[in-house]
Structure 1
C-alpha cells in the first residue's frame, strides 16, 4: 500500500511538471507571437492543451506566468552556456558565452524586449531571483578572469569581480543597442569591446636588457 501511494505521488508530480513545462512553452510561443500585452491566458491554455483555470492554478496571473517563462528559459540557457565554455584563452571563452546567450535572444526577438525590461525592473520575488541569476554569472566570469591571471593572460593585480562588471556593461550595452535596432551585430560589438578592454589588462612585457659589449 505504501509503495502504491508513493508511486501514485510520483506519477502526479511527473504529470504536474509536464503540465507546467507545457504551459511555459506555450506562453513563450504566444508572447513571442503577439507580445505580452496582447497575449491572453485562454490562448496560452489552448496552445498548451489545458484549461485557463489550470494556468491560473499554476501561475496566478499573466505577469507571474511571464516571469516564470522568462526565468526558466534564461536560466537553462545560461547554465548550458557556462557549462560549454571549455578551457581558455579567456577571449575565446567570453566570445563563446556571448554567442550562446545572444543566440537565445535572437531566436526570440519579440520576447527579448520584454525579457530585458522585466529582468531589470521586476517586482519581488522575481527581482531577487533575477539578481541571483546575474550573481551566479558574475561569479563564473570572475573565476574565468582569475584563471586567466593564473595562466599569465592577465596581470596578477586584475580584479576578477571588476572584470565581470565590465563584461556585463559591454553585454547590456550591445543588447540594448540591438533591441532598439541600433546595431545589427551585437556579438561582434561585445567581442570588440572585450578585446579592447583586455589589451589594458595584459601583463606588461619586460624590457630586454642590452648585452654589454
Structure 2
C-alpha cells in the first residue's frame, strides 16, 4: 500500500468521525487508567457496567485504596481476571499516592511501572487523557492494519512502529480510535462488513465479504 492510499483511508475515516474517542466511560485521567486496566480480555460494555459502581465508591486513588482488594472485587467480579485486576488496581492506587501525589503521571516510564500497565495501556492513557500522538495497538487495530495492508506486521510492536512511521502527523492523535471503532463495528473478525465500509475500494484485503443487505 502506498502513502497516497493511506492518506485517503485516514481522510475518509476522519470525515466519517471527526472527533473520535474511547467508548470507555471516564471523567478524569485516574478513571481512564483504571478502566483501561480492567479492559484486558473484557469488553468496554462490561467494564463500563462495573466502573459505574466502582468509581462512585472510589472516585480517587485514596478512596479506591480504602476499598481494599475485596471491596474492588465486589464491583468488578463480572469482568474476566477480576482477582488479579483487583490486586493491580489497589497496588496502582498505592503507588499513585506514594510516588505521584495521587495524580496519574504524564510519563510513559512512570505509567509502565504501574502493576498491570504495559505499553498498550500507557499509550491509551497518554493519547486519550493527555493528547499524546501515541497509537495503542489492540486486537482490532492489529487485525485492521494487517487485513487492509495499511501497516502489516507479525506482532503488535511491529504494527505500532509502522503506524507511527506511516500515519501523517495530522492524523496521529485520532487514528487509534478510528481503527478500533472501524474494527469493532465494520471490519469485524469473522464476517467483515465490506459492503458497509467507507474504505472498501482502498482496502487490499483479498477475501472481502458482502453480507446481504449491505
Structure with more helix by fraction:
1
* Larger RCO: 1 or 2 (CA < 8 Å, sep 6+): 2
Structure of higher CA gyration radius: 1
